[in-house]
Amino acid sequence: MSCPDCGGDRVTLRVPADLRDHAGSETVAVCRDCLRVQPIDAGAAEPATPSAVDESIPDGDGGVAFLLACGNLGSLALHRPAIVELFEYAEVAGVDVYLTLDRLADTVPNPHFDVSRRMEQVDEFL
């Protein structure tokens, strides 16, 4: 299962019930190369955990929230309320959002957003 945007490998994640409004689906596919997130049919593939996308992402609901936020980071103007809510959810769940973004900047080959620029902006509103 490869990414329709960049052709990278994708990881299937189950979305916690209270985050499904943001995901648009019970199950999403996250690209390991560009971090785009797309809703997919449940049962399309065996769900994995957030650390399967990148080892710097913590497993658990917080990691899923973090990745859903990353999927929205292509347009901060359009998705800001969702991004803030998702990153806050991740922080409450124990994810260090800023540190995790910093690690992704080194390990994800081709993020669909400018990681260092987004880190500055995220730092302002978290």
Applying CB under 5 A, among 15, 28, 30, 34 the residue interacting with Zn ion is 34
Q: Taking contact as CB under 5 A, which single stretch among the options 7-15, 51-59, 64-72, 93-101 is the one that binds Zn ion?
A: 7-15
Confirm or reject binding of residue 69 to Zn ion (CB under 5 A). no
Residue 110 neighbours by CB distance under 10 Å: 13
Confirm or reject binding of residue 8 to Zn ion (CB under 5 A). yes
What gap in Å lies between CA 80 and CA 96, rounded to an integer? 19
What gap in Å lies between CA 47 and CA 93, rounded to an integer? 20
What gap in Å lies between CA 41 and CA 64, rounded to an integer? 17
What gap in Å lies between CA 58 and CA 37, rounded to an integer? 17
What gap in Å lies between CA 43 and CA 29, rounded to an integer? 12
Confirm or reject binding of residue 3 to Zn ion (CB under 5 A). yes
Identify which of residues 1 and 126 has a Cβ nearer to Zn ion in the complex. 1
Number of residues that bind Zn ion (CB under 5 A): 7
Identify which of residues 34 and 69 has a Cβ nearer to Zn ion in the complex. 34
Instruction: Report the interface residues with Zn ion, using CB under 5 A.
Output: 3, 5-6, 8, 31, 33-34
